[in-house]
């Protein structure tokens, strides 16, 4: 069974819909919500600064978005990146929207010092995510990740 990194089971058929409908609590809550998108942490993968922008509507492809939704997504993406810059200016991100996933979401995936053992390339990202899921999550580490989400929520309206 799928679980959030805080241990809550995820029963939702679609994780993206489950997050926006509040079927389970995404760790750190919704960092920001616009009319059509929500910014949040990955519910299952505890990595600092790893943010996800999810569509509220169940769509799979970017081309299914209306022009207004697409413009809104770009604006949220830019703002999320500005917030991340404010939180830690030394981290670089890989931005990914994987269409194999059933529900449109965009990853802002950070490259952090602890990932140095993994090649700095797209192919390493899944491996890093899997390693982060399996790694023992200390209370300090967990609080750090949740603290980043809280700080980001505060900053979002200000950048």
Q: Name the residues that contact Zn ion, by CB under 5 A.
A: 14, 16-17, 58, 103
CB of 109 to Zn ion, least distance (A): 21
> By C-beta, is 16 or 43 nearer to Zn ion?
16
CB of 58 to Zn ion, least distance (A): 4
Residue 141 has φ and ψ, to the nearest 5°, of -65, -45
Report DSSP letters for 19-69, one per residue: HHHTSS--TT-EEEE-SSEEEEE-SS---TT-EEEEESS---SGGGS-HHH
CB of 110 to Zn ion, least distance (A): 25
CB of 44 to Zn ion, least distance (A): 16
**Half-sphere exposure of 36 toward its Cβ, with a 13 Å CA cutoff?**
20
> By C-beta, is 21 or 78 nearer to Zn ion?
21
> By C-beta, is 18 or 28 nearer to Zn ion?
18
> By C-beta, is 59 or 159 nearer to Zn ion?
59
């Amino acid at each position: 069974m799928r679980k959030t990194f805080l241990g809550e089971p995820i029963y939702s058929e679609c994780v993206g819909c489950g997050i926006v409908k509040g079927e389970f609590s995404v760790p750190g809550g919704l960092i920001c919500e616009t009319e059509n998108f929500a910014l949040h942490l990955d519910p299952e993968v505890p990595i600092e600064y790893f943010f996800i922008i999810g569509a509220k509507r169940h769509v799979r492809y970017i081309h299914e978005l209306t022009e207004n939704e697409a413009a809104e997504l770009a604006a949220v993406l830019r703002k999320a990146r500005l917030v991340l810059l404010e939180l830690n200016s030394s981290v670089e991100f890989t931005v990914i929207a994987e269409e194999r996933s059933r529900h449109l979401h965009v990853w802002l995936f950070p490259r952090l010092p602890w990932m140095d053992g993994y090649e700095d390339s797209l192919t390493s990202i899944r491996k890093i995510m899997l390693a982060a899921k399996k790694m023992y999550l200390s209370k300090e580490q967990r609080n750090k990740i949740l603290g980043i989400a809280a700080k980001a929520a505060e900053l979002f309206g200000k950048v």
